[in-house]
Amino acid sequence: MTGKHPIGLTIRNAVKVYPGTRALKNVNFDIRMGAVNVLVGENGAGKSTLMKVISGVETLTEGEIAVDGTPVQFRNKDDAVRAGIGIVFQELNLFPDLSVSENIFIGREPTRLGLHIDMRDQATRSRDILTRLEQDIDPDTPLGFLRLGQQQVVEIAKALAQDAKILILDEPTSALSAVEVEVLFRVIAELRSQGVGIVYISHRLEELIRIGDYITVLRDGEVTGTRSMDGVDVPWIVEAMIGGEAKDFAAPIAHQIGDEVFRAEDVALAKMGGGYSVDHVSFSANAGEILGIYGLMGAGRTELLECIIGRHPEAQGHYFIKGEELRSTSIADRISHGIALVPEDRKVDGLIQMMAIRENLTLSSLKEFTRFMHLSLSREAQRAAEFISRLTIKVASAENPVSSLSGGNQQKVAIGKALMTKPSVLLLDEPSRGIDVGAKAEIYRVMRELSAQGIGIVFATSEIEEAMALSDRIIVMADGRITGVFDKSTPVAQVVAAASPGTSSVEGSAA
Amino acid sequence: MTTTTAHSPSANINWLLLLLKARTFVALILVFTYFAFAAPNFLSVANAVLISKHVAINAFLAIGMTFVIITGGIDLSVGSVVGLTSMIAGYLVLNGIDPGFGWSIQFNTVEIMVMVCFVGVFVGWINGILITRLNVAPFIATLGMLYMARGAALLMSGGRTFPNLNGSAEYGSASFPLIGAGSFLGIPVMIWMLIIVTLASVYIARRTPLGRHIYATGGNERGAALSGVRVRRVKMFVYMFSGLMAALVGLIIASQLKAAHPATGEFFELNAIAAAVLGGTSMSGGRGRIMGTIIGAFVIGILSDGLIMMGVSSFWQMVIKGLVIVTAVVIDQAQSRLQARVALTQEAGS
């Protein structure tokens, strides 16, 4: 279209199938050189998959990629690097104990005779790259001494040292302070003027509009909008992200919202290196209520829920179940007092992947089947079967390892495990992350049913649509603080605004 | 989705998988049959008793080790704890406790057993505290304990042997030699002890919340903790249990030999690990079975005794033992890969 930004990489009719889900459905995407190509979409929309495909981490099921008009096939990351594609992941892959230059050249050290690392050459070249990025960083400093924003720049330098012509930045600002973001933006502007094609992924919409030249919106593995950034505003992006047709959020089941079942007071969790990831937060949840906690990456949603369940013994805070304060800090005690958590990451926190479905379901409630020391396997199996049918978990056998299930069914197992403890308040952290649309709808249905049974439900989410559609009340968090409490009838834009980091507290219309 | 996998793509793969799963048992049968033909007198009753006594020593330690490894840890100290506890047993039989007033307290056999077992559990407790409270890696914590316990054993006698542990009728310790040498209904007492310990361990592993928590801790420690498993307690238990097993072995050896030598138990920890691994225990935790370990201990025991009977040099014995262990793990890896592939095809089919 525009001659001043030639297309460097194209991807056509891209399809990527994972067991149980289609992460990409016929995606077309162009990367323009000397421009910032913004990619935006909700969690699970396929952004990460698309970037993994472009950087050679994953291969396409169908479709083709062309660099400068020549079709290419990336079998691994090295192929992509050779084609000039560099990626900076959200989680930095750096070695804090090595120097900056060693980090930049890790795995590709310039050597003499293939054996002796040419430290001087390495340092000189590092200095050149850092100068190009207009950064005053000494290449000999141990990386761990740098601030997070500078570390990010080192990660970018690493990509540039491999002659990256296309640079993918996956949520680069999620962990940065406002000043560091400015530095990063200057670096990006500099690279753009040097003709580098930049792919920029972020959830912070204002940021995207400010820095982007082109925008592509993904939803459920499909491109729902792609255009030049001229004239794009937040409502347009939100519209393209969420779409006209509403997802199946399951109709609310009419029931009375009861008295307070849970209250947290003055919860604080200090962050490494100063500040708080949860900054003196207080809130309460009522029986039969669905309370949504909405916030961006790093807002402190997950940490708040982890504090409540007792994951961080060093955290401050007081917790009350039906008015009675919990004294013990151990997770086991909190669970037995009626708090249950379904963690965000099923693989690492939620389930024991190698154990059977039955064993996972009952892990938190073994006491129920135990007399003295003796565990009644028959009663356990019976109870597991009951929950499998109650939550309509699709299993061939309850004795199969939980890892053999699809994401949605695994999530139901995690919920089942939490429910079996008969909680008064159920905490769900990103309950619909990484599962397909059908399974999401079922999870929502389960949440509705549970709230109708009088359980207080507190769920954290980074999807505004989910927060708006499911919650009776919405708490918005940013920078570890509560920046607003809203009624479900509040306009979306107002809720989104409260979630931007740096905003001062906005009190909701009705709390 | 709820259909069974009766129409799986190939029945052969399922057969192969079954064979691989039962590999330790297959190995046991192979080793046994081979020596039954190759080694003279292998099938005699006397030899069976002898082999089972050798196996028992390793099996006690291997059971304790299996629990530890299932939680994702390791206990390198057991061999030294065997040495230390057998020295303590020897010391108590010979001297009792001398508080330094010109008279001493003497103990009967049961009291000695209880005290020695307590020492073993206590050493395990220290291991557990180092690992769960002071965050020392299990390998390092128990490596340190390996040296400390061995050093303590040597210090007790200045490196000398406590000889003639016959006990005395006067103090009620005359039955001490029976722990390792006595028999009941024609079966050695130590084998009875092993049977009881094995049954109790299988019970703990399969039918108690504690057992489930042991597997959960090793399978995914963070996940287990978030599910309300008291991970620290679980770990404390396994190291204390492993210490107890070491103490039993220390008692048995001191009793069998009627002597306690401070070098007793060197490299026993490695044999215990070998038996556990051979029995299918995963070094990365979460997977393993007590009966597998027992079979593993038998494979190792029969292998070494059979080779001795055939007159194979001890140098070759070590090479062969090493090969068997490595082969076992190679097969283990092949099995996991195959299993993952079968699970994936099932997933795709459902």
Q: By C-alpha distance, which of A301, A302, A299 is closest to A502? A: A299
Mean pLDDT is lowest, of A1-5, A409-413, B332-336, for A1-5
Does A379 touch chain B if contact means CB atoms closer than 8 Å?
no
Does A373 touch chain B if contact means CB atoms closer than 8 Å?
yes
Distance, CA of B85 to CA of B93 (rounded, Å): 12
pLDDT digits (tens, 9 = 90+) for A456-487: 999 998 888 888 888 999 999 988 889 889 98
The one-letter code for the residue type at B330 is V
Same domain? A191 vs A324 = no
Residues 14-43 of A with CB under 8 A from B: 19-20
Q: Do B209 and A350 touch (CB under 8 A)?
A: no
Smallest Cα distance from A277 to chain B, Å: 20
Question: The tokens 């070695």 sit on which residue?
Answer: A95
Task: Find the CATH number of the domain harbouring A173.
Answer: 3.40.50.300
Q: Is residue A254 part of a domain?
A: no
Could you list the residue range(s) of the whole structural domain that residue B126 is in? 55-286
Same domain? A264 vs A201 = no
Distance, CA of A172 to CA of A192 (rounded, Å): 16
Q: Is the pLDDT of residue B1 over 50?
A: no
ipTM of the complex: 0.83
The one-letter code for the residue type at B250 is G
Q: Do A367 and B219 touch (CB under 8 A)?
A: no
Q: Is residue A365 part of a domain?
A: no
Q: Is residue B308 part of a domain?
A: no
| For residues B224-239, average pLDDT | 95
Please tell me the predicted confidence (pLDDT) of residue B306. Answer: 87
Mean pLDDT is lowest, of A216-230, A232-246, B127-141, B195-209, for A232-246
Same domain? A188 vs A118 = yes
pLDDT digits (tens, 9 = 90+) for B57-75: 999 999 999 999 999 999 9
Higher pLDDT, A379 or B103: A379
**Closest residue in chain A to residue B228, using alpha carbons only:** A332
pLDDT digits (tens, 9 = 90+) for A325-353: 988 889 999 999 999 999 988 888 889 98
Q: Do A396 and B348 touch (CB under 8 A)?
A: no
pLDDT-above-90 percentage for chain B? 54
Helix (H) or strand (E) holding A176: none
Q: By C-alpha distance, which of A340, A343, A314 is closest to A329? A: A314
Distance, CA of A431 to CA of A160 (rounded, Å): 38
Q: Do B228 and A374 touch (CB under 8 A)?
A: no
Please tell me the predicted confidence (pLDDT) of residue B233. Answer: 95
Cβ contacts below 8 Å, chain A against chain B, sum to: 96
Question: Are A427 and A340 contacting, i.e. CB atoms less than 8 angstroms apart?
Answer: yes
Q: Do A394 and B2 touch (CB under 8 A)?
A: yes
CB < 8 Å & 24+ apart, contacts of A208-211: A208/A38, A208/A40, A208/A237, A209/A233, A209/A234, A209/A237, A210/A185, A211/A36, A211/A38, A211/A185
Strands A425-429 and A456-461: parallel
Distance, CA of A501 to CA of A176 (rounded, Å): 11
Higher pLDDT, B26 or B82: B82
Smallest Cα distance from B322 to chain A, Å: 29
Q: Which two tokens stand for residue B250?
A: 């220390």
Distance, CA of A64 to CA of A327 (rounded, Å): 59
Same domain? A166 vs A217 = yes
Of A20, A331, A354, the CB nearest to B226: A331
* CA B87, chain centre distance (Å): 20
Please tell me the predicted confidence (pLDDT) of residue B289. Answer: 93
User: Residues in chain B whose beta carbon is closer than 8 A to a beta carbon of chain A?
Assistant: 1-5, 207-213, 215-216, 219-220, 222-230, 286-287, 343-344, 346-348, 350
- Of A121-125, B184-188, B213-217, B336-340, give the range with the top mean pLDDT: B213-217
Distance, CA of B120 to CA of B60 (rounded, Å): 13
Could you list the residue range(s) of the whole structural domain that residue A179 is in? 7-242
Distance, CA of B271 to CA of B267 (rounded, Å): 7
Q: Is the pLDDT of residue B52 over 70?
A: yes
Question: Are A236 and A230 contacting, i.e. CB atoms less than 8 angstroms apart?
Answer: no
Q: Is residue A107 part of a domain?
A: yes
Q: Is residue A397 part of a domain?
A: no
Of A309, A359, A394, the CB nearest to B226: A309
Q: Is residue B95 part of a domain?
A: yes
pLDDT-above-70 percentage for chain B? 94
Which residues of chain A are within 8 Å of residue B2 when distances are taken between CB atoms? Answer: 394-396
Of A348, A366, A367, the CB nearest to B223: A348
Same domain? A200 vs A338 = no
Same domain? A314 vs A174 = no
Q: Give me the sign of the Cα torsion angle A44, A48, A52, A57.
A: negative
pLDDT digits (tens, 9 = 90+) for A307-316: 999 999 889 9
Q: How many domains does chain A have?
A: 2
Same domain? A457 vs A316 = yes
Of B3, B220, B346, the CB nearest to A353: B220
- Determine if residue B208 is left, alpha or beta; phi over 0 gives left, psi from -120 to 50 gives alpha, anything else beta: beta
The one-letter code for the residue type at A1 is M
Q: Do B227 and A363 touch (CB under 8 A)?
A: yes
**Closest residue in chain A to residue B230, using alpha carbons only:** A332
Q: Do A311 and B226 touch (CB under 8 A)?
A: yes
Please tell me the predicted confidence (pLDDT) of residue A88. Answer: 85
Q: Is the pLDDT of residue B3 over 50?
A: no
Smallest Cα distance from A238 to chain B, Å: 35
Distance, CA of A309 to CA of B226 (rounded, Å): 8
Same domain? A479 vs A451 = yes
- Of B227, B281, B345, B346, which to mutate for an interface test with A (greatest number of A Cβ within 10 Å)? B227
Q: Is the pLDDT of residue A357 over 60?
A: yes
Last residue of a domain, one of A216, A242, A268: A242
What would you measure as the largest C-alpha separation in chain A, in angstroms? 78
Question: Are A301 and A501 contacting, i.e. CB atoms less than 8 angstroms apart?
Answer: no
Same domain? A62 vs A111 = yes
Please tell me the predicted confidence (pLDDT) of residue A511. Answer: 37
Smallest Cα distance from A364 to chain B, Å: 5
Which residues of chain B are within 8 Å of residue A417 when distances are taken between CB atoms? Answer: 227
Q: Is residue A393 part of a domain?
A: no
Which residues of chain B are within 8 Å of residue A395 when distances are taken between CB atoms? Answer: 2
- Of A96-110, A388-402, A497-511, B187-201, give the range with the top mean pLDDT: B187-201
Count of CB atoms situated within 10 Å of the CB of B255: 29
* CA A220, chain centre distance (Å): 15
Same domain? A194 vs A307 = no
Which residues of chain B are within 8 Å of residue A397 when distances are taken between CB atoms? Answer: 4
Smallest Cα distance from A389 to chain B, Å: 12
Higher pLDDT, A275 or B61: B61
CA distances from A429 to A339, A346, A407, A432, A461 (A): 13, 10, 15, 9, 7
Please tell me the predicted confidence (pLDDT) of residue A436. Answer: 67
Please tell me the predicted confidence (pLDDT) of residue A244. Answer: 57
Q: Is residue A368 part of a domain?
A: no
What DSSP state is assigned to residue A343? -
Q: Do A355 and B215 touch (CB under 8 A)?
A: yes
- Of A54-58, A79-83, B186-190, B264-268, give the range with the top mean pLDDT: B264-268
- Of A354, A364, A412, which to mutate for an interface test with B (greatest number of B Cβ within 10 Å)? A354
Question: Are A498 and A506 contacting, i.e. CB atoms less than 8 angstroms apart?
Answer: yes
What does A403-430 look like in DSSP terms, one character per residue?
A: GGS-HHHHHHHHHHHHHHT--SEEEEES
Q: Give me the sign of the Cα torsion angle B313, B317, B318, B322.
A: positive
pLDDT band at A498 (very low <50, low <70, confident <90, very high): confident
A7 CB contacts (<8 Å, ≥6 apart)?
A30, A31, A32, A33
Q: Do A375 and B207 touch (CB under 8 A)?
A: yes
Helix (H) or strand (E) holding A142: none
Strands A316-321 and A324-325: antiparallel
| For residues B292-308, average pLDDT | 90
Q: By C-alpha distance, which of A333, A292, A283, A293 is closest to A310? A: A333
- Of A329, A361, A363, which to mutate for an interface test with B (greatest number of B Cβ within 10 Å)? A363
Q: Is residue A225 part of a domain?
A: yes
pLDDT-above-70 percentage for chain A? 94
CB < 8 Å & 24+ apart, contacts of A23-27: A23/A49, A23/A221, A24/A49, A24/A50, A24/A53, A24/A60, A24/A63, A24/A221, A25/A220, A25/A221, A25/A222, A26/A63, A26/A222, A27/A63, A27/A218, A27/A221, A27/A222, A27/A223
pLDDT digits (tens, 9 = 90+) for A175-207: 676 677 888 888 889 889 988 999 998 877 778
Q: Do A364 and B227 touch (CB under 8 A)?
A: yes
pLDDT digits (tens, 9 = 90+) for A79-90: 888 888 988 877
- Phi, psi angles (nearest 5°) of residue B52: -65, -30
Residues 333-372 of A with CB under 8 A from B: 334-336, 341, 343, 348-355, 359, 363-364, 366-367, 370
Same domain? A237 vs A290 = no
| For residues B291-297, average pLDDT | 93
Q: Is residue A401 part of a domain?
A: no
Three-state SS annotation for chain B: CCCCCCCCCCHHHHHHHHHHHCHHHHHHHHHHHHHHHHCCCCCCHHHHHHHHHHHHHHHHHHHHHHHHHHCCCCCCCHHHHHHHHHHHHHHHHHHCECCCCCCCECCCHHHHHHHHHHHHHHHHHHHHHHHHCCCCCHHHHHHHHHHHHHHHHHHHHCCCCECCCCCCCCCCCCCCCHHHHCEECCEEHHHHHHHHHHHHHHHHHHHCHHHHHHHHHHHCHHHHHHCCCCHHHHHHHHHHHHHHHHHHHHHHHHHHHCCECCCCCCCHHHHHHHHHHHCCCCCCCCCCCHHHHHHHHHHHHHHHHHHHHCCCCHHHHHHHHHHHHHHHHHHHHHHHHHHHHHHHHHHHHC
Please tell me the predicted confidence (pLDDT) of residue A503. Answer: 55
What DSSP state is assigned to residue A472? S
Q: Is the pLDDT of residue B81 over 70?
A: yes
Same domain? A230 vs A264 = no
Distance, CA of A222 to CA of A218 (rounded, Å): 5
Smallest Cα distance from B257 to chain A, Å: 37
